[in-house]
């Protein structure tokens, strides 16, 4: 069994499809299928069961997966050690994140890291759902909820803050907002309830608000709705510098604190590229959240 066989096996195990694995490997699906069949013949065992849902690992395949992942980490670690002798990082790192962080924090942070390491390729995957690291949707992820299962390492990076906000134009003509109870007289902007994948993002239920007049699964779309005068929404403080037309409301009555977590594959700490990018990423996020939240002027509130 050689490393190329294991790469094919890993791709099919993670993508659960010959065609998707082929795209990952940049090979056609038929070639991937032949390589899987050859590997099963060489090992004299079935590694996958085919079903309408795709390719699922057999018990033998699950056992091989653990060994294949350790081999992958050893290959990556060895390559990074040789390439990193100059102190410069190279290769690709894919970072998954919730869309708020991906849109308003990571562009600045990743640009700075890449300037320090010109041979490094950084990719940001923004998904309004939980990133599946076990299927290598990303090499590491920034989440708002620490995972409770899997061979993962979790690092709390920093807190961030959210407040109710509305556009200045909306507030000029809207009914008074002096207490949380007054929200009942205003249209609310928020998440689509059945598309909230992290309980930490279910802000409105705890306020007793069960009807959202304008909703989206994306932070950027919600921000656009609030900026267009659609109503009142809960907005990240670190986004407010990008939307100077918004004003925080009921700031003393409602202030929400959440945290960003950096989640990685357990074995990737031994891969120099992933380890150093994770360190610089965590520090960069801390610095950028502090910088952006510090730019919110005191007059960005209306009580």
Q: For each of the domains in the chain, give its residue range(s) and CATH number, in order of start.
A: 3-68 (1.10.10.10), 84-158+259-294 (3.40.190.10), 159-257+296-302 (3.40.190.290)
pLDDT(11) > 90:
no
Strands (E) in 58-187, as ranges, are: 91-97, 120-126, 140-143, 152-167
Query: Left (φ > 0), alpha (ψ -120 to 50) or beta: where does 214 sit?
Result: beta
pLDDT of amino acid 303: 42
pLDDT(82) > 70:
no
The per-residue pLDDT for range 118-140, each reduced to its tens digit, is: 999 999 999 867 777 667 788 89
pLDDT of amino acid 294: 95
Least-confidence region, from 19-23, 214-218, 242-246 = 19-23
The per-residue pLDDT for range 32-56, each reduced to its tens digit, is: 889 889 888 888 899 989 888 888 8
Segment 3-15 shows an average pLDDT of 84
pLDDT of amino acid 289: 97
Asked whether 59 and 89 are in contact (CB, 8 A), the reply is no
Least-confidence region, from 3-7, 85-89, 266-270 = 85-89
């Amino acid at each position: 069994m050689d490393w190329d066989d294991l790469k094919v096996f890993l791709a099919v195990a993670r993508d659960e499809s010959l065609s998707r694995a082929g795209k990952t490997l940049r090979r056609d699906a038929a070639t991937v299928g032949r390589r899987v069949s050859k590997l099963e013949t060489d090992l004299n065992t079935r590694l996958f069961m085919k079903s309408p849902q795709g390719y699922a690992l057999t018990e033998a395949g699950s056992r091989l997966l653990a060994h294949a992942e350790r081999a992958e980490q050893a290959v990556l670690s060895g390559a990074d050690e040789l390439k990193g002798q100059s102190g410069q990082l190279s290769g690709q790192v894919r970072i998954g994140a919730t869309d708020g962080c991906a849109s308003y924090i990571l562009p600045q942070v990743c640009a700075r890291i890449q300037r320090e390491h010109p041979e490094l390729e950084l990719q940001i995957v923004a998904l309004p759902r939980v990133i599946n690291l076990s299927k290598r949707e990303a090499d590491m992820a920034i989440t708002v909820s620490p995972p409770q299962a899997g061979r993962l390492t979790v690092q709390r990076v920093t807190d961030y803050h959210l407040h109710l906000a509305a556009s200045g134009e909306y507030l000029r003509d809207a009914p008074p907002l002096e207490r949380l109870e007054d929200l009942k007289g205003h249209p609310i902007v928020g998440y689509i309830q059945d598309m909230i994948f992290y309980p930490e993002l279910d802000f409105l239920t705890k306020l007793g608000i069960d009807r959202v007049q304008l909703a989206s699964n994306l932070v950027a779309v919600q921000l656009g709705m609030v900026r267009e005068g659609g109503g009142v929404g809960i907005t990240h403080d670190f986004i407010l510098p990008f939307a100077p037309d918004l004003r925080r409301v009921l700031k003393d009555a409602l202030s929400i604190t959440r945290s960003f977590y950096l989640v990685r594959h357990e074995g990737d700490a031994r891969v120099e590229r992933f380890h150093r990018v994770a360190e610089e990423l965590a520090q960069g996020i801390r610095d950028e959240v502090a910088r952006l939240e510090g730019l919110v002027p005191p007059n960005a509130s209306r009580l």
